[in-house]
Structure 1
Amino acid sequence: MKNLSPNKTKPFLSFRQSRLHWVILYSSLCVSGAMAQNTVSSQPAADKSTSGHHHVVSDSTPDEDKNRPSMIGQTAPTDEKSIVVVGRSYADGVTRRGIGGGLMIKEDAPKSKSTITRDYIEKQTPGLNPMQLIALLPGVNTADSDPMGLTGGHTSVRGMNEASMGYTLEGFPLNDIGSYAVYPQEIVDSENLSTIQVAQGSADLDSPTISAAGGVVNMYMIDPTKKMGGRANFTYGSYNTFRGFARFDTGEIGNSGTRAYFSFSDTHEDLWRGPGTEKKLHGEMKVVKEWGKDNRASLVVVGNNLDNYNTPSVNMASWKQYGTGVMGGPVSGTANTVYSSVYTGNTKANTTYYKLHPNPFTNLYVSAPTRINLGHNMVLTETPYFWYGNGNGGGAYWQDMNKMSYGSQTMSGTVNGQNYGQTLLYEPSITKTYRPGAVTKWTWTSGINRLMVGYWFEYSTQRQTAPYTLLNDDGSPKDKWGGGASVVLANGKTAEYRDTMTRTMVNTPFIGDSISLLNNRLTIDAGVKYSIIKRDGRNYLPDTSTGEKINQTYRSVLPTGSVRFKINSEHQLFFSVATNFRAPMNTSLYDSGAYYAGSGYSNKASTGLKPETTISEEFGWRYQGKLINTSLTYFHYDFHNRLFSQTVIDPNNPTSYYSTNINGGNQTTNGVDFEIGTRAIYNIRPYVSGEYINARTKSNLFASASGVSAVLPTKGKFAPQTPRYQVGFGLDYDNGHIFGNFSLKYVGSQYSTFMNDEEVPSYVRMNVGGGYRFKSWGGLKSPTIKFNISNIANKHYLNYASGITTNANYVKSVDGQTIKGSSPTYGIASPFSAMFSISTGF
């Protein structure tokens, strides 16, 4: 049982070497800027080379777009024309015109959407991951575990976590194809983010995702500038954090219509809870080619390399007794909230030694969104992509190499021909993924009507293994990647805790039609897609309950429709209805873990799991005036076969754990969310968001403990992982030179069991930031100093139920039996941190 972290290498430079390189680079930039100094403008210099970033909407709509129907099918970045924000734009992309300080835009979609722009993104701590950046939006509950977000995090929207949401970057999918997990620290550097768009209710027809039962998060990168230049950004702060970022824009290359940028960042951070460090190297490239009338092609390459260590989840007993930092017994006991910093020899106690729990990964994303004008009002949009990931979540097992198992057989094992008897072995949970795919879409516009026909195809291969390997004398793995000499059994087979291959083929045709009436005051959308997901799996472990070959096919017809009506230029109403589904995780197809005589493997396949299906309705009102923008939405969901991700801990080895799906039955959700933001009032831009939700389980669930199995009375209980109330508040001030911001997020309590007998308490988190933007000086454009303080009250709190259970305490079943509970596990929120940054354009 392992942490199924899929992707994962060694940093290229040591910490001191990389810091020195960044200092030299920054000094060179400053010197070149001083040598190029000529005149000083009276105001901070605008970035006049701004080419217009996708989805950054100006106060007015271009005349040619006024009669264009909006569609539920515009995920690709080439679908929307670049709209230049009228007015000043600084080298960092800030315009000082963003509604609510960049937490809202003027929206025209026929369903609920919330979007943040560079006006907000740029003023946060540099390098935050996208989940941290969307925390204030309505319905969004973000849980991070370290200040810089390098250990990832979790996000739920209207009670549905990231595994139930689709995540895309530049139109290609980001969710793991097997578990649907999202690793936000891998995705994109915040300096290159143009917008993040959260569609709370449903995915678009062309969204390339098979897990978006609850909506989608779309991210778009900035375009290369038309003039040569770039940016540099350096951050230092709490927990020995050091981060450097640099980007170079080529400008337009001759008269070719081609421009590009290349960026690189290097981040180091000490773990705040327990020993260990996190080191991340990240590179990005975007090339854009434009020609003719509305023809555009781009190439996006994102590479990420992270070397860090896991921190354990905690149960409520250990949290209440020991808080954030005591090392003691096993994770499932009452005294372990961090891993040990001391290796005391080859003993069972050292399963909790931190060097045995690395989380290395490397990944590569490549995409080429292309738009070709075919003439006669026809457009072809093509988004091919390739997704590669390799890495693991490490752990350790105490083994007797004379009594190792190969399914039901017991035999000896050796490493390089030597038997070490009873010994501690390293066992990483390795996942390697190859994932090519493409979304092809043809659109034809004829007067007030627009027809869209498309196809999404993907064929992925995911290899998941867990070999046993030896340790060095200091307790560290011989190879944290699980390479090198592994334990070989007497029959010549490599000893594995899991050993699977999954090939997933996705075929999704879709068609949509949109009609615009009453001079675009009334827009009606309708469409349908047919998703076919075929998993062809092989389990190379012996004596499994399913045999070696497993084939599973999931099919679903997903219609959608929406209406948007503009009462006048300021008020509009919208209504949408959509169907979504999510296929079970690939791990549900396989047996894995330890083998026990008479009962089989500890982790059993659940091939009978049905896909989660959702029918959602939304009815909303927007007011978009000269000063205030408001959105108010009522939503309703009906879930069937609600799938919850559950973290299961091996009782025989509590440092090993894995994720799986459990069927939570049917569920009904009703709620209201809203957001309000203003344009500048004496340079002040406030923003408020909120949500009330009532999510109820409609089924009684089966539970088993201590040999007793029964049905629990969960029907009518509040759904787990769903806060009933949330409120966000943001305040932004920017006069061109001085800027400051404050944010507050209140998250109500959320249950961690289906019986509602344990919960994550409510909490409030506050952040503050500010800085000064200098006048441009020669070659340096808008040099800026900035500070950001997160969790300013230094509250220590639980923020996420990572491992939900049916019941935490003893409860009576429907037929009167007493069922013992099992402890849910939780994530711990990141503490107070202070970061100081300097940046400049050039």
Structure 2
Amino acid sequence: MRMNFACGVAFAALMIPGAALAQSTGTVEAEEGSEIVVTGARGPATVDGIQIPDSPKARAVLTQELIERRAPGQTILDTINLIPGVSFTNSDAYGSSGGQIRIRGFDGNRIALTFDGIPLNDSGNYAIYSNQQLDPELIEQVNVNFGSADVDSPTAAASGGTVNYRSLVPTDEMGAIGVYSHGTNRMNRAFGLLNLGTLTSFGTKAWVSASTQKYDQFRGPGTIYKQQYNGKIYQPIGGGNDFISVAAHYNQNRSYFYSNPTYANIRTRLAALNSSLPNNTTGTSASAANPYTLDLNNRDFDYVFDDTSSTYRYDYTCDLQSNPGGAGSQTDRNSCNNVYATAFNPSNTGNVRINSRFDLTEKLLFTFDGAYSWTRANGGGSTLLAETDASATSANGAYTQQYAQTSGRLGAGTAAGVDLNGDGDLRDFVRVYFPSNTRTQRFTAIAGLRYQIDRDNLIRVAYTWDRARHRQTGEASLLTDAGRPQSPFSALDGEGKSPILDAAGNVFQKRNRLSYAILHQLSAEYRGGFFENMFKVTLGVRAPFFRRNLNNFCYTIAGQSNDAYCTSQTAAQVAAFDAANTSVTLGAPYRNRIKTYNRLLPSAGFTYNFTPAISMFGSYSKGLSLPRTDNLYGFDDVSISPVAAVKPESTDSFDLGLRYTNRLIQAQIGGWYIGFKNRIISSTVLLEGGGTLSVDRNVGSVKSHGVDASVAIKPLQWFSIYGFGSYTIARLQDDATDPLSGRVLAPTAGKFVVETPKWQYGGRAQIDFNPISIGIQAKHTGDRWISDINDLKSAGYTLVDLDARLGLGGVGLERTFLQLNVSNLLKERYFGNLSTVTNAFPFVVGTTTTAAAGPRVTFGAPRTFIGSIHFEF
């Protein structure tokens, strides 16, 4: 059905070293002998898209052969959920609403994600945004390194490993692919790829693609819209393997958040049902010594899921009381504070990428990868502003600003306030759109030299440079009468519609800062083969030099990294406010505050082939994850300094295992251990309208170990089966302390790391009887802790997915097929994404009784059907 296209890609990959692996071109070239992965009959063995490379590192690979079986448009991070040790929870069945990933207990902020060798993690908080990834039809393959990074990886956060994927190479012949999909919740998606073939006598070839997707949320109001455009030009050089490739990518998301209940909401709802479950009894008095498992039966889950009140769902419409205003006082305190339109997540992202390879001599090879990438995004949110400064901090409970103190800010020290709704008085409380805007421009370059000493030995050196300009603001703007934003990015740079201006004429905002995240890295690696290549070794070292240049144009609020005290007041007026309010400590604006982090990161590994099919592998690598750039703004190191500065995290990762690989079987089992020092955790508090506050702190060491295993077998040409499993133990070794005072905040010593399932297992089976092909896969994700002190956890769940194809060759359409995907086939009720907290129930530290936190949980997507027709010409 896709034979011509697949073979074309396979042939291109075989002829062009570096065309298949997702790391930098230099790393691909160093691994050329054993790890070229293609979607065709030649190349390393795969079992229906599953491959285990002959690598010293614990690594797994999935190729387009399997990727294309998943639901069209699905994020690639959902596809790798079939790899042992990986836990990904999708916000919905289609992948455009985001999700959360963990690998061996490490969250997405500690996992490096690369695309054609360039970094995709946010440069401010190192987060991975799963809904912004390349269309799956364009991904040749994806590979996962567990607990390690390649020596030339441009990353500040890879203590948990790396996920790498690479776009496909243009074909020599002209061709086209079109896919249209329709699914549950009015999902419609169209994808088109045009391979332009060979365009010049020099062998230039290219492809272009476009896609669009739109669907309703499966619960509550809100529509998810996504469009994406891609292109790639490939130019071979000379008659050898040299080439230059230039590619471009643009992605636009317009999505709304799902309304997620807190644990307290669920307990209250079930009390109304008079449930026999302990949610209404012992569920209120659990503790770390007597933890509670959130495990609802089908009746209770559906009762909570089906609640249409504003406690559990966003409102579709609202009536802004302050607009148009009038005589007397109007207030939006209970108006439009739960409307879906401000629970908004717009993003525009794009990049231009260069990959290249040049043989300088018979033994000396030069590679260069470079990229320019950009981002514009925010997470929505609204807040309430008092028109008069006196009301903004009134002691009678009228309203206290939740994002940051507001006394004097609207009046700017020159007036009593501002008439926001234009009704001629200062008596109103006006709800406004108040997102946290981020714009990033990033340059990346990786240059490498590889010298082939002889047939069995090579050395390579590389220089990596990465510079991200991270601009973060938080402009407020007026909402429409129905409580909707007038511009997705508010009054960004004062250019949006209806900005909120203070009495001095400046845009009212909650943050205004500029960061530069800069990396200079030198690296070297040796690869050698001994005893006729039966024994292979790698020795490497990374020497990264990180620099953070921080500029805060607002006053720092102690411990608050997301928000600041932005004002047009004079320094004397701010100082008077600071002195009069003992609950807040402010630090003056600053420029060019520098933070540097340097570390030597060695790595080593080996493989020993007992037979061509059986081998042993082992590796050691030292990893590093820096404090998140965003959270460095919780202090200023002058008037606000932590007792102990947040230190970079470091890991020592060990793997040892066995492999059995041939054309029929791909099997691997391995044990691993990771020593994790200076682990950073953040307390995250959900604010009105969707905003959050977070504070970083080190909680000492984490010790984790486990076993990962997988086996893929194709005993018959028409049948394959794959099974995998992982066992993970990850425990904190120390208590959490307050970085401002040094006191113990929470007894986390000995507790299991949140969101990390101890057990994961599953498998996939596929049968192919032309013109019919059917695949079914299942995965069980075990219990996951929601709180750092382990007083609340979410029960495990099992998801089953189905994919089926019908080829239309019998009616003359040789390369056209119909495809059906069903996710959550058995309609499992479960909670997916978890909003983790320090504690879910009160506990005592010293003489202080802590308050219970309100963790939120996300409903897992129900059963979803997607039908597609795939044309190819």
TM-score normalised to structure 2 length: 0.82
Deviation for aligned residue 1:144: 0.5
Deviation for aligned residue 1:736: 3.7
Give a deviation string over 1:338-367, Cα, whole Å, max 9, x none: 211121333223111111222111111111
Contact 2:47 2:663 in 1 (8 A): no
Give a deviation string over 1:705-744, Cα, whole Å, max 9, x none: 9x99645332112121211000021111123421011111
Distance 1:134 1:49 in 2: 21
Per the alignment, residue 689 of structure 1 pairs with 724
Instruction: State yes or no: 1:633 paired with 2:670.
Output: yes
Of 320, 336, 340, which residue of structure 1 is paired with 2:315? 340
Q: State the AA in 2 paired with 1:174.
A: L
Per the alignment, residue 624 of structure 1 pairs with 661
Contact 2:732 2:751 in 1 (8 A): yes
Of 97, 100, 123, which residue of structure 2 is paired with 1:151? 97
Of 773, 777, 801, which residue of structure 1 is paired with 2:834? 801
The 3 A distance-change label for structure 1 pair 71 and 111 is farther
Of 697, 701, 706, which residue of structure 2 is paired with 1:671? 706
Of 60, 63, 72, which residue of structure 2 is paired with 1:114? 60
Distance 1:302 1:776 in 2: 37
Per the alignment, residue 821 of structure 1 pairs with 852
The 3 A distance-change label for structure 1 pair 660 and 300 is farther
Distance 1:711 1:635 in 2: 31
The 3 A distance-change label for structure 1 pair 98 and 621 is closer
Per the alignment, residue 343 of structure 2 pairs with 357
Contact 1:75 1:171 in 2 (8 A): no
Q: State the AA in 1 paired with 2:385.
A: Q
Of 58, 66, 73, which residue of structure 2 is paired with 1:127? 73
Per the alignment, residue 442 of structure 1 pairs with 449
Deviation for aligned residue 1:71: 14
What is the aligned residue count? 762
Distance 1:776 1:172 in 2: 44
Q: Secondary structure at the match of 2:215?
A: strand
Per the alignment, residue 431 of structure 2 pairs with 424
Greater Cα shift, 276-285 or 541-550: 541-550
Per the alignment, residue 4 of structure 2 pairs with 47
Q: State the AA in 2 paired with 1:715.
A: A
Instruction: State yes or no: 1:713 paired with 2:747.
Output: yes
Deviation for aligned residue 1:231: 0.4
Distance 1:164 1:419 in 2: 50
Per the alignment, residue 490 of structure 1 pairs with 503
- Unaligned segments of structure 1, at least 5 residues: 1-43, 90-94, 330-335, 593-599
Give a deviation string over 1:599-647, Cα, whole Å, max 9, x none: x99xx99992111111110101101144222100101011111123553
Contact 2:479 2:486 in 1 (8 A): yes
Contact 1:187 1:302 in 2 (8 A): no
Q: Secondary structure at the match of 2:137?
A: helix
Per the alignment, residue 756 of structure 2 pairs with 722
Deviation for aligned residue 1:695: 1.0
Distance 2:752 2:82 in 1: 24
Per the alignment, residue 613 of structure 1 pairs with 650
Contact 2:23 2:117 in 1 (8 A): no
Instruction: State yes or no: 1:566 paired with 2:609.
Output: yes
Per the alignment, residue 755 of structure 1 pairs with 789
Q: State the AA in 2 paired with 1:441.
A: G
Greater Cα shift, 437-446 or 310-319: 310-319
Distance 1:55 1:159 in 2: 37
Contact 2:822 2:866 in 1 (8 A): yes
Distance 1:787 1:311 in 2: 26
Distance 1:820 1:708 in 2: 19
Per the alignment, residue 769 of structure 2 pairs with 735
Per the alignment, residue 37 of structure 1 pairs with none
Of 620, 626, 641, which residue of structure 2 is paired with 1:583? 626
Contact 1:71 1:525 in 2 (8 A): no
The 3 A distance-change label for structure 1 pair 533 and 326 is farther
Deviation for aligned residue 1:752: 1.5
RMSD of the alignment, in Å?
3.0
Q: Secondary structure at the match of 2:7?
A: coil
Give a deviation string over 1:195-214, Cα, whole Å, max 9, x none: 11011221111112111111
Q: Secondary structure at the match of 2:345?
A: coil
Distance 2:696 2:742 in 1: 21
Q: Secondary structure at the match of 1:323?
A: helix
Q: State the AA in 2 paired with 1:670.
A: H
Contact 1:672 1:691 in 2 (8 A): yes
The 3 A distance-change label for structure 1 pair 294 and 425 is same
Q: State the AA in 2 paired with 1:491.
A: A
Deviation for aligned residue 1:387: 1.0
Deviation for aligned residue 1:141: 0.6
Instruction: State yes or no: 1:395 paired with 2:381.
Output: yes
Distance 2:715 2:188 in 1: 34
Q: Which has the higher contact order (CA 8 A, sep 6+)?
A: 1
Deviation for aligned residue 1:323: 2.8
Per the alignment, residue 565 of structure 2 pairs with none
Distance 1:744 1:234 in 2: 26
The 3 A distance-change label for structure 1 pair 244 and 87 is closer
Deviation for aligned residue 1:781: 4.5
Distance 1:73 1:557 in 2: 21
The 3 A distance-change label for structure 1 pair 425 and 777 is same
Flag the structure with higher helix content. Answer: 2
Greater Cα shift, 339-348 or 200-209: 339-348
Deviation for aligned residue 1:302: 0.8
Give a deviation string over 1:452-496, Cα, whole Å, max 9, x none: 111111121111111111011222122221122322222343211
Q: What does 1:65-76 correspond to in 2, within 5 Å?
A: none
TM-score normalised to structure 1 length: 0.85
Deviation for aligned residue 1:146: 1.2
Instruction: State yes or no: 1:371 paired with 2:373.
Output: no
The 3 A distance-change label for structure 1 pair 626 and 51 is closer
Q: Secondary structure at the match of 1:590?
A: helix
Deviation for aligned residue 1:690: 0.5
Distance 2:797 2:385 in 1: 42
Q: What does 1:489-528 correspond to in 2, within 5 Å?
A: 489-528=502-541
Distance 1:376 1:819 in 2: 68
Of 244, 247, 257, which residue of structure 2 is paired with 1:310? 257
Q: Secondary structure at the match of 2:716?
A: coil
Deviation for aligned residue 1:685: 0.7
The 3 A distance-change label for structure 1 pair 170 and 715 is same
Distance 1:570 1:354 in 2: 56
Give a deviation string over 1:343-401, Cα, whole Å, max 9, x none: 13332231111112221111111110111111131111111101101021111111112
Distance 2:733 2:433 in 1: 43
Contact 2:780 2:797 in 1 (8 A): yes
Deviation for aligned residue 1:680: 4.6
Contact 1:457 1:508 in 2 (8 A): yes
Deviation for aligned residue 1:445: 0.7
Instruction: State yes or no: 1:299 paired with 2:246.
Output: yes
Per the alignment, residue 561 of structure 2 pairs with none
Distance 1:606 1:243 in 2: 53
Contact 1:285 1:300 in 2 (8 A): yes
Contact 1:588 1:605 in 2 (8 A): no
Q: Secondary structure at the match of 2:631?
A: helix
Deviation for aligned residue 1:424: 0.9
Greater Cα shift, 615-624 or 408-417: 408-417
Q: State the AA in 2 paired with 1:393.
A: G
Distance 1:391 1:369 in 2: 27
Of 782, 786, 798, which residue of structure 2 is paired with 1:764? 798
Contact 2:257 2:344 in 1 (8 A): yes
Per the alignment, residue 600 of structure 2 pairs with 557
